[in-house]
Amino acid sequence: MSNIFEDLARQLVSAGHALYAHGMVPATSGNLSARVSPEVIAITVSGAHKGHLTSADIMPIDNVGNSLDGRRPSAETGLHTQIYSAFPEAGAILHHHSPRATLISQLAGDEVLLSDYELLKAFPGINTHETVVSVPVFPNDQDIHRLSEKIRGRMQSPGPLFGYLIRGHGLYTWADTVDRAMIHVEAFEFLFRCELMKREVR
């Protein structure tokens, strides 16, 4: 494997451990990837426990999701390749199942609207709290192709998209680097937590 692959694999392992430590990828949930080159993506193998992740659990696929080393990639690989195809600037994708992302996806309608938070400035191009960030919520579907078709329409509509929720399932977010994708995870988790707390208090 190339040095770039190995370096990105180490970053994904580190991200997996951090997500697990924060309770965001319970059991064997979640999957993580990074773009190695225009033709190659590094992604977690199917069924790996993110808290025990090692570089050996990161495998190469091509940009339409075919395994390049004979192993089976994450069952949701099609959602990763769709994001890399739609967003040329995306270099890393993190998908987690935090309790808060799961719950807000179940409570919300078609989208979660976030506004009046200073932390919205964590997303690229957002310079003020006086904005509205929309996080679309799609119904869960075990047929990944069918699920990706539902997502495609939103990806083609105008307006920035920093991540999306799948109902009862979790969040997909991406950025140019693994580190910045983790910053998006932190920002979304914070924002979902605040939104849920608002519904808990009188």
Mask: binding to a second copy, 66-95, rule CB under 8 A, as x and -?
A: ------------------------------
Answer for which of 106, 144, 160, 176 binds a second copy (CB under 8 A) is: 106
Token duo for residue 48: 């790996």
Nearest approach, Cβ of residue 164 and a second copy (Å):
14
> What residues have CB less than 8 Å from 54, skipping those under 6 apart?
13
Answer for which of 6, 99, 155, 176 binds a second copy (CB under 8 A) is: 99
C-alpha count within 13 angstroms, C-beta hemisphere, residue 97: 12
Answer for which of 108, 111, 140, 176 binds a second copy (CB under 8 A) is: 140
Any contact of residue 167 with a second copy (CB under 8 A)? yes
Any contact of residue 29 with a second copy (CB under 8 A)? yes
Any contact of residue 132 with a second copy (CB under 8 A)? no
> What residues have CB less than 8 Å from 55, skipping those under 6 apart?
6, 9, 10, 13
Q: Where are the alpha helices (DSSP H) in the chain?
A: 3-21, 77-86, 99-107, 144-156, 178-200
Token duo for residue 191: 């924002």
Answer for which of 97, 147, 151, 175 binds a second copy (CB under 8 A) is: 97
Q: Helix (H) and strand (E) counts for the chain?
A: 5, 8
Q: Which amino acid is at 145?
A: H
**Interacting residues with a second copy (CB under 8 A):** 23, 26-29, 49, 97, 99-100, 102-103, 106-107, 116-119, 122, 127-130, 140, 142, 166-170, 179, 183-184, 186-187, 189-190, 193-194, 196-202
